[in-house]
Structure 1
Amino acid sequence: MTRRTERLSEDDRVLWNLVARTAKPLKGRTAVDIPDIGAETRPTPPQPAPLAGAPAGAAKPKAQHIAHALDEPTLDKLSKGRLPIEGRVDLHGLTQDEAYSLLFSFLRRAHAGGIRYVLVITGKGSSSGGDGVLRRAVPAWLSTPAFRPLVSSHDHAARNHGGSGALYVRLRRVRS
């Protein structure tokens, strides 16, 4: 049996670390400390804007470019399956930091691979009736400067693809 000499890419290492942190050790074993590799290379999630009652000296948030919504014909084709969804990522159960880094690395790899349409599953949120944190945060993240070179537009998915708990994302074309 031969050992593989290939090394994980930085994106794969970040994804593996996210998964490894959720693993529980076997009975009688101690947990292994997983270092946060790649933290210095991934962008940090945007901080929430100050509230309306913030002190006068507080910095005002910069105007952010809002990503365009998908056009109706494209949205219709995606929902009816006439336009293929070439990738999907499920962010259920992740913290905001984990979800942000997983989403960023997934979209970066998909964009590099020439994929145009992906499905991002955020979940609908808590069972207590409130909107989920990721359900609110992911559309805002997709409009930030870190995602702007990757994302062309996004919109809520059709009911058969997760409805309000998922998003269709159109990635920008790769420039030659």
Structure 2
Amino acid sequence: MADHDDKDEENRLFLDAVKDVRPLKPSRLYHQAPNPQPIPKQFLRDERQALADSLSDGYIPAHELESGEELLYLRDGHSPDILSKLRRGHWVVQAAIDLHGMVSDEARLYVAEFLAHCKKRGIRCVRIIHGKGLSSRNREPVLKHKLRNWLMQKDEVIAYAQARQQDGGSGAVIVLLKA
């Protein structure tokens, strides 16, 4: 019973203390920031995994244009002039990545994310530096051969060609993406 009387007394004292209070008018100067949007972490993980899964090391193309060790590829339905322009440096390289020091799985995910980023930004011509394999086992360019297959699997890739000597030569590839 004493608890109930104490609560009544507290309420009476509070009401007595705030009896002359008037609500403030909203001010233009006072602005409450909106609550931040939640970060869809699982969605982002799923998107990243889907990108990684979109490129397979086991992909065997039905056709490709290769002359020796030089990487050349042109998607069906496109003019052969595209390859010659690509090899001559007709398009300006708008973005580039370097795969040096990456293991295959890291490189595959990095390439998939890079191409997705370029597609969103409307980037048409990119350079991917894969290296010459000088520090790999048997001194063979492991990423070079894998990159060839990964790029052929991406629908946004129209063509690719080995970079000109001043752009990386046999250690890089220039890729033309859909607009």
TM-score (norm 2): 0.59
Larger Rg: 2
Structure 2 SS opposite 1:40: helix
Structure 2 counterparts to residues 42-81 of structure 1, below 5 A: 42-44=51-53, 45-48=55-58, 64=62, 66=64, 67-68=73-74, 70-76=82-88, 78=89
Partner of 1:143: helix, strand, or coil?
helix
CA contact (8 A) 2:95 2:127 kept: yes
**Structure 2 residue aligned with 1:31:** none
| 2:159 corresponds to 1:153 | yes
1:140 and 2:132 are equivalent in the alignment:
no
Separation in structure 2 between the aligned mates of residue 9 and residue 119 of structure 1, nearest angstrom: 31
Counterparts of 2:128 and 2:108 in 1: how far apart (Å)?
A: 12
Could you tell me whether the CA contact under 8 Å between 1:91 and 1:122 is conserved in 2?
A: yes
Question: Which residue matches 1:95?
Answer: 103
Q: Larger deviation: 65-74 or 89-98?
A: 65-74
Give the secondary-structure state (helix, strand or coil) at the position aligned to 1:71: helix
Match of 1:132, as an amino acid?
P
Match of 1:124 in 2: 132
Matched AA of 2:58: P
**Cα distance per residue 1:37-68 (max 9 Å; x no partner):** 7553323242437xxxxxxxxxxx7x546441
Give me the TM-score of the superposition, normalised by structure 1.
Answer: 0.60
Instruction: Determine what percentage of the aligned residue pairs are the same residue.
Output: 25
Look up the SS of the partner of 1:46 in the other structure: coil
- The amino acid of 1:103's aligned partner reads V
Q: Distance in 2 between matches of 1:9 and 1:92?
A: 31
Q: Where does structure 1 lack aligned partners over 5 or more consecutive residues? A: 15-35, 50-60
Q: Given that residues 155 and 167 in structure 1 are in contact (C-alpha distance below 8 angstroms), is that contact kept between their aligned partners in structure 2?
A: yes
Which SS does the other structure have where 2:51 is aligned?
A: coil
Alignment equivalent of 2:91, drawn from 80, 83, 89: 83
Gaps in structure 2 of 5+ consecutive residues: 1-35, 65-72, 76-81
1:151 to partner: Cα distance = 0.6
Contact 1:157 1:163 in 2 (8 A): yes
